[in-house]
Structure 1
Amino acid sequence: MVSLNKVVRAFTHEGARGKRLTPEMELKRALMNCLLWEDQFYEDGVAIADRIKALVPKVAPERTAQLAVAAREAMKLRHAPLLVVREMARSEKHRPLVAETLERIIQRPDEMTELLAIYWADALGPQQQRKRQPVSAQIKKGLARALTKFDAYQLAKYDRDGAVRIRDVLFLVHAKPRDAAQEKVWKQLVDGELPSPDTWEVSLSGGRDKRETFERLIAEKRLGGLALLRNLRLMQKAELLRQTIADAIEAMRTDRILPYRFITAARYAPDFEGELESAMLKSVKGYAHLPGRTRLLIDVSGSMFHPLSAQSEMTRAEAACGLAILAREVCDEVEIFTFSNDVVKVPPRRGFALRDAIVNSQAHGGTYLGKAISEIDRKGDRLIVFTDEQSHDAVPAPKGRGTMVNVASYQHGVGHGAWTRVDGFSEAVIAWIAASEETMH
């Protein structure tokens, strides 16, 4: 498995366009790269990224703090900003801003435990035999302030087994509760007596009537957008009224949900394709903008119709279609092509109609990526390729701005060469391309 250290080094290597980057620009690009690895960053037990580790002390403290906040609030990252703050705590000139920055970027209780896991990463080996490094006063102060943000429901929901628990954070920082009510909650946390959170998982696993449970969760607005999409089939099986489900889809928050999730949901709940398409198109409003002319090239070869992974029901083709739907909405001018044995131009339709046009454009045969690029690449245009990179022929260098997005999620790595390569599927690919181009200009 490729380590994050190698990923970051490849991504920030100078020479992609022969332009020297400042440490601040490199740090920004390293953080943008973490958009692609957010789900894997902590699970892989990756050591602290050498590149970010080296860059933080080279960037002005105020700008470093601003980048950490932007990574959390604008880029919706969780672990990358925690890593930046941990590195700030190592630097004497950055240290005074640690508590304030940490308080702001921690938005979920489990991020406190993740910060400590990152802080102690050097000590927490497989046998956890090495001594944990003492936590700095600024880190403790930031964690103490963050602890007061959360109520009993949030603490119970995110208090999970692990090397570091939320009550460990409480013991470590000696935080002061806001009031008597919070003091009582913290005592329950320490004693393991917090009431079980009223989540859909807990409610459904408790053996309650599924229809009544879903109706209550929807009425009380306790079912988030992703949970709603994942449970559409179960709701239909529980015989909820169609209008109840349709109203829930219309009312759901879509700002953090990308098109491929709606595509997958529609596969299992085709009766709601109209409502899901409306929600999907609403979800891309206000997303990152790609100016100028763009050509999209989408792989529809046979291998693209395999699942992303053994744990995923989504196919690589669905991932690619989701990204194409998003790109169609955010590009100034766009032309869309598919490739397999041949190259086919498809109409720039919107939503599920674009998905259908892509999937039905040609037979799902071989992967002649080189031939396809040679046919459609045009100087002055942006070219974005969505593929699993199982090409039968040589791939030429792009004539202009070329990004190769490998949606085979088992491969991870970002590198610069003639192509800007993005190996690994992410919800943030389009935002990453926009931000990357902005950094280069």
Structure 2
Amino acid sequence: MRFNFFSRNTATVVNHEDAASFTLTPQMELYAAVATAALSDQFYEKADTRLERLRELVGKNEPLFVAQLAVYARESLHLRSVPLVLCVELARLHRGDNLLSRLVARVVQRPDEITELLAYYARANGRNGTKILNRVSKQLQKGLALSFNKFDGYQLAKYDRDGAVRLRDALFLVHPTARDAAQQALFDQLVRGELPTPYTWETELSAVGQAPYATPAERTAAVTRTWETLVASGKLGYMALLRNLRNILEANVSAETITQVCATLANRAAVARSKQLPFRFLAAFREVKALQSGHVAAVLTALEDAIAHSAANLRGFGPETRVVVACDVSSSMQQPISARSKVLLYDVSLVLGMLLQSRSQNVTAGMFGDTWKRISLPRGPVLRNVEEFYRREGEVGYSTNGYLVVQDLRQRREVVDKVMMFTDVQLWNSRGDGGTLALEWAEYRRTVAPNARLYLFDLAGHGTVPLEVRPETGVALIAGWSDKIFDVLTALDNGGSALTEIEAISF
């Protein structure tokens, strides 16, 4: 099945800045909204607004496409919450086959996703109190029952957490059939609350914190030994290691432990298995850079190696391909991607832009706000380049005059093959001179570079674009925060679309 993946060319609307824009097809709009969803407040859109728009868009799309997109979001973009939302919304609308049960069984990859899905199901259906889980969709129940069979005792114990819905509640609701007597024994333990406490780095540190000590120095020494033991054991997962670098360094662990930390961080296979979003490395880089430790330099170098490995499969461009990388540093980009994160949309723009620069041999990079400014930086150090951009972002102001990127190319008569813009796509002209990205792009292609392509990397998913997304205009839309977005370039160069990989997912 093929979907119409281009922007509509029948009517223009206005974006959040009241600038003329084009709408997208329901497929493209849902894809962009899902790929950029943290389900938290953004500059232009509150979390509830985004959630309501997702619900409406699910109803405008074919059930198979919604299911394919949910799988793509979970397995390729490594998102957790929004695929569960798609499952629940599909359950509200779709009947007559087992598409939903197969989808749920595939999307749910951790035990706490069972309870999160049911908690959202209750919210979406207006349930509360003792009736929170009455009348759950049969196909959804079946999919959750199949999900229970994936997990062992360690996983069930680790993710049996307090909340509106507990794993015990879910077990009673969906009645999974145990695959053998051993699993039935685990289910019985879960019901009785007797699952053994799992060994995790959290439980190890908690035990240290609760133990009695004669002096503060003894407690500090115990914390240090515990971190050293955790690192040496290999039981500290990659994400946990990444998020605890500050704690490890502040614990004054041994040089041998730091050597092992750096080796793990920079291990190509470990990076690939961890499936970290690129901006996670930037968050860790900033935490470490602020510390006063003789080991900071080594850890920062390991993080540079790690993010380079994370983009190892990124299809770069040789010297024959002329590329422009333009990063939006406007006010609307200076918003956290989620309520619990210090990472801004602006940071995501810079990280993805610098990753692309690191893989391109003939590249011009810069940032735009009130003005457009080219910035020459070395190709290698992705995270240090991001920090250099961050240091200089005030040099261009905080509007969103993206058209100046292309105007500059046109005025220089500079021929390039690809223009990559990392932005929330809410472009507008603060100068009042009538210039727009649509006008500048059409003129640039007409007078300077008729074969140039413009790629809009949408980092916010608000549902509009500043010019038509069609092959004949040379414009493509790609959405998301993962290095996976660069895989879309291959599909586009081969005549596909941003939806090609999604459409290829089968059940």
Which bin holds the TM-score, normalised by the shorter protein?
Answer: 0.7 to 0.9
- 2:308 equivalent among 278, 281, 298: 281
Q: Given the alignment of the two structures, is residue 114 of structure 1 paired with residue 116 of structure 2, yes or no?
A: yes
The answer (yes or no) to whether the contact 1:36–1:424 under 8 Å persists in 2 is: yes
Distance 1:434 1:249, change over 3 A: same
Aligned residues: 415
Q: Which runs of structure 2 are paired with 1:146-295 in the superposition (5 Å)? A: 146-207=147-208, 209-240=222-253, 241=255, 242-251=258-267, 253-255=270-272, 256-269=275-288, 270-271=296-297, 272-287=299-314, 293-295=322-324
CA apart distance, 1:83: 4.1
Q: Which moved more, 1:216-225 or 1:40-49?
A: 40-49
Compute the TM-score of the two structures, normalised by the length of structure 2: 0.67
Q: With structure 1 as the length reference, what TM-score do the two structures score?
A: 0.76
Q: Is the 8 A contact 1:308 1:315 kept in 2?
A: yes
* Aligned-residue CA RMSD (Å): 4.3
What 5-or-longer segments of structure 1 have no aligned partner? 1-11, 19-24
The match for 2:125 is 123
**Alpha-carbon displacement from aligned partner over 1:192-240 (angstroms, at most 9, x marks no partner):** 2323332223322332532232233323332222221221121112122
The partner residue of 1:396 within 421, 433, 436 is: 436
2:309 counterpart letter in structure 1: K
Counterparts of 1:126-145 in structure 2 under 5 Å? 134-145=135-146
- Residue matched to 2:467: 418
Report the CA distance between 1:313 and its aligned residue. 3.6
TM-aligned CA deviation for residue 299 of structure 1: 4.9
1:239–1:115 CA distance, 2 compared to 1 (3 A): same
**Bigger mean CA offset, 181-190 vs 382-391:** 382-391
| Alignment check: 8 A CA contact 2:330 2:397 kept | yes
CA shift at 1:131, angstroms? 7.3
Residues 414, 124 of structure 1: CA spacing in aligned structure 2 closer, same or farther, 3 A cutoff?
A: same
Q: Which amino acid aligns with 1:207?
A: V
* Residue 281 of structure 1, CA deviation: 0.1
Q: What is the CA-CA distance between 1:132 and the residue it aligns to?
A: 5.1
1:372 deviation in Å? 3.8
How far 1:426 moved relative to its partner? Answer: 3.6
Point out the more displaced range, 429-438 or 235-244. 429-438
8 Å Cα contact 2:429-2:436 kept in structure 1: no
Aligned-partner Cα distance in 1 for 2:158–2:114: 14
Q: Is the 8 A contact 1:288 1:431 kept in 2?
A: yes
State how 1:280-319 maps to structure 2 within 5 Å: 280-287=307-314, 293-299=322-328, 311-314=340-343, 318-319=347-348
Q: Which consecutive residues of structure 2, in runs of 5 or more, have no partner in the other structure?
A: 12-24, 210-221, 289-295, 442-452, 470-475, 501-507
Instruction: Tell me, yes or no, if the aligned pair for 1:297 and 1:338 is still in contact at 8 Å.
Output: yes
Structure 1 residues 89 and 362: CA distance shift in structure 2, 3 A:
closer
Q: 1:167 to 1:435 in 2, by over 3 A?
A: farther
2:397 alignment counterpart: 366
In structure 1, C-alpha distance between the alignment counterparts of 2:379 and 2:454, rounded to whole Å: 24
What displacement does 1:171 show? 0.5
The 3 A distance-change label for structure 1 pair 119 and 259 is closer
Aligned to 1:35: 35
Q: Judging changes above 3 Å, is the alpha-carbon distance between structure 1 residues 228 and 33 closer, same or farther for their aligned structure 2 residues? A: same
Secondary structure class of the residue paired with 1:297: strand
Residues of 2 paired with 1:390 and 1:43: CA distance? 24
What SS does structure 1 have at the residue aligned with 2:363? strand
Pairwise mapping of residues 60-75 of structure 1 onto structure 2 (< 5 A)?
Answer: 65-75=67-77
1:52 aligns with 2:69: no
Q: What code does the residue aligned with 2:467 have?
A: A
Partner AA of 2:151 in structure 1: F
CA contact (8 A) 2:115 2:166 kept: yes
Contact 1:33 1:432 in 2 (8 A): no
SS in 1 for 2:98: helix
Give 1:382's aligned residue: 419
Letter in 1 for 2:497: T
Task: Check whether the contact 1:305–1:317 (CA below 8 A) recurs between aligned residues.
Answer: yes
Contact 1:413 1:423 in 2 (8 A): no
Deviations 1:121-154 (A, max 9, x none): 44335x5597755233332222222101112221
What's the counterpart of residue 497 of structure 2? 439
Structure 1 equivalent of residue 445 of structure 2: none
Amino acid at match of 2:33: N
Q: Is the 8 A contact 2:265 2:271 kept in 1?
A: no
- Give 1:338's match in structure 2, choosing from 351, 367, 380: 367
| d(CA) in 2 for partners of 1:304, 1:353 | 20
The structure-2 alpha-carbon separation of the partners of 1:14 and 1:307, relative to structure 1 and needing over 3 Å to count, comes to closer
Q: Report the CA distance between 1:278 and its aligned residue.
A: 0.8
Cα shift at 1:36 = 0.7
Alpha-carbon distance in structure 2 between the residues aligned to 1:13 and 1:276: 38
Is the 8 Å Cα contact of residues 327 and 430 (structure 1) preserved in structure 2?
no
Which has the higher relative contact order, 1 or 2, with Cα contacts under 8 A spaced 6 or more apart?
2
1: CA distance, partners of 2:478 / 2:76: 23
Greater mean deviation of Cα atoms: 307-316 or 173-182: 307-316
Amino acid at match of 1:109: P
2 CA distance for matches of 1:435 and 1:80? Answer: 25
Three-state SS of the structure 2 residue aligned to 1:207 is helix
CA contact (8 A) 2:118 2:165 kept: yes
In 2, distance between residues paired with 1:141 and 1:347?
A: 54
Distance 2:104 2:119 in 1: 15
Aligned residue in 1 for 2:106: 104
1:355 aligns with 2:386: yes
**Structure 2 residue 349 is the aligned partner of structure 1 residue 320:** yes
Deviates more, 1:323-332 or 1:155-164: 323-332
Measured at CA, do residues 254 and 113 of structure 1 come closer, stay the same or move farther in structure 2, by a change above 3 Å?
A: same
Aligned-partner Cα distance in 2 for 1:247–1:380: 39
Determine the C-alpha separation between the residues in 2 that align with 1:302 and 1:44. Answer: 22
